[in-house]
Structure 1
Amino acid sequence: MNKLLLIAALICLATAQTVQECPTDGTILECIIQDSPVCGIRSLTNGKQIKETFANYCAACNVGKVEYTVSGKCESYPAQAQFCSPAQSKAEICTMIYDPQCGYFNQQVNCLVPPCNIDQYNRCKTCSIQNVLYTIKGKCPAH
């Protein structure tokens, strides 16, 4: 039963994983009524994230406190997931501080045995790997 729930959860995640950065120049977007839920992400100085579900990208970005969005409702992802920001995904240099992270790939990565994840040295290293969508603190669970 647990495996069935895990597979169902992964199918839901596989259909909802686009990351979009919000404008930072104060641009006000013209929104249309569209129900395409996104998880709006705002990073705090302590490294934690505030996540809130919005009706769509436009509604999330017009609030002004959302840095970027991930397709799908926040509740569709594990509560402990820390999403990789667009800036983190482009990191070229990372510290060598050991803080194990399990990185979970987006839908563009096809795995033979789900879940699609990878163990890395720290969050910076994990997020800088192409197609990693989010991390969870600690080593990845054994398959």
Structure 2
Amino acid sequence: MKRLVLFAALVLVTSCQTVYQCPKDGRVFKCSSEPKEVCGIKTVHGEQIKEAFVNSCQSCSLGKVDLTVDGKCENYLAEAEFCPPSYKDVNACTEQFQPQCAWFNQSVKCLVYPWAIEVQNRCYGCIIKNVLFITEGDCPKQV
């Protein structure tokens, strides 16, 4: 039963995948109230704080978050550190060794669990195409 619950949670994780970087130029947005729940993420003292919002536009307009990811915050692993879209422009990473597990988004169709790859550090994980978030340490071996 425990394995089934964990598997169901991981399926939810892979069902919502778009990360959106909020503009930092102080713009005011006209937002619809159409619900498309997002998890708003703000980095405070190096830690990502997650909070639910009605939609991406409203979360960015309020200026409370740096980025959003589609879906409810609780649909993702609690320890998930989402990769900002700006990481995709990084050309080089430090050689610091701090093992991370880089989790792929739904566009990567893995045949077996986990839907992730072990990497040297956060930077190496977040620059990989289709990586949605990282978790600290080695990837889990089984469900």
TM-score by length of 2: 0.93
Cα distance in 2 for partners of 1:105, 1:2 equals 23
Cα distance in 1 for partners of 2:140, 2:89 equals 26
Cα distance in 1 for partners of 2:106, 2:89 equals 19
1:31 aligned partner: 31
Q: Among the aligned pairs, what percent are the same residue?
A: 47
Give the drift of 1:127.
0.6
Instruction: Pick which of 124-133 and 27-36 moved more.
Output: 27-36
SS of 1:111's partner is coil
Structure 2 unaligned runs (5+)? none
For the Cα contact (< 8 Å) 2:114–2:139, is it kept in 1?
A: no
Cα distance in 2 for partners of 1:57, 1:101 equals 28
Runs of 4+ in 1 over 6 A off after TM superposition: none
Cα distance in 2 for partners of 1:54, 1:115 equals 29
> What RMSD, in angstroms, separates the aligned Cα atoms of the two structures?
1.2
Structure 1 unaligned runs (5+)? none
Aligned residues: 142
Give the drift of 1:7.
2.3
2:43 aligned partner: 43
Q: Is residue 79 of structure 1 aligned with residue 57 of structure 2?
A: no
TM-score by length of 1: 0.93
Alignment of 1:39-118 (within 5 A): 39-44=39-44, 46-118=45-117
| Amino acid paired to 2:57 | C
SS of 2:33's partner is coil
Cα distance in 2 for partners of 1:27, 1:88 equals 23
